[in-house]
Amino acid sequence: MKSIAVFCGSAPGNEASFREEAYGLGQLLAREEIRLVYGGGKNGLMGCVADGVLDAGGTVTGVIPEFLKKEEVVHTRLTELVTTENMHERKLIMNERADGFITLPGGFGTLEELFEIITWSQLGLHHKPVGVLNCGGYYDHLFALLDHMVAHGLLKPQFRSRLLESESKNELLTSMRNWKAQDARIRITKDRV
């Protein structure tokens, strides 16, 4: 794996441990010579993960739509900054530039990015590992919801298992490196359109 896209909050949150985990993940990516691809901001958890990579001598590609570039403070130390026309193009470029995806704590935008990229995996549009770094149990309720969806027959277990999860960044990275893509994408039938 040469590059990983990280989805996370543009806010710092209330937990110092989340900021420490984001920075630590950045440091780990740099040590492992993995390029960070992320949203391009310098604030919040996004900024922490980028700072972690940059402070350890790694490389960072920020991808930001023009309309957000005007409203938020863009990180000025990035190796590369790509400006897009809109959010859809941003996610497409992040997908193209990444060999895998990690989600840290965040809000609506973070969840939207996670669910879109795991849906693309489910549909067979990419065959890359998708992981969640479950800092301090932040995503425990989300995982319970996904298991609830499986129990009700609305999410197949083979698709649920595509979402890798760990509370350890080292374990998550190892799982992502060992992940093998499966051809278990959704088959369109008259009962499922």
Q: What is the DSSP string of 138-171?
A: TTHHHHHHHHHHHHTTSS-HHHHTTEEEES-HHH
Tell me what pLDDT residue 73 has.
78
Instruction: Tell me what pLDDT residue 17 has.
Output: 97
Return the pLDDT at 187: 52
Q: What is the pLDDT of residue 56?
A: 98
Amino acid 186: pLDDT: 53
State pTM to two decimals: 0.92
Residue 165 neighbours by CB under 8 Å, 6+ apart: 131, 132, 134, 139, 143, 172
Report the pLDDT value the prediction gives residue 188, as an integer from 0 to 100: 46
Residue 72, pLDDT score: 64
Q: Give the angle 28-175-102 at the CA atoms, nearest 5°.
A: 55
pLDDT at 183: 57
Q: What SS3 class is residue 59?
A: coil
| Helix or strand run (H / E) with residue 113 | helix 108-122
| pLDDT tens by residue, 63-117 | 999 988 865 679 999 999 999 999 999 999 999 999 999 999 999 999 999 999 9
pLDDT mean for each 10 residues of the chain (193 residues): 97 96 98 97 96 98 89 86 95 96 97 96 94 98 98 95 96 96 55 45
Between 3.40.50.450, 3.30.1330.100, 1.10.10.60, 3.20.20.80, what CATH number should domain 3-135+164-176 receive? 3.40.50.450
Dist. CA 19–CA 13, nearest whole Å: 8
Nearest to 105 by CA among 132, 144, 128: 132
Which amino acid is present at 103?
T
Q: Residues, the chain, total?
A: 193
Q: What is the layout of strands, in order, in the sheet containing 101-103?
A: 80-84, 60-65, 35-38, 3-7, 101-103, 130-133, 163-166
| pLDDT at 100 (0 to 100) | 98
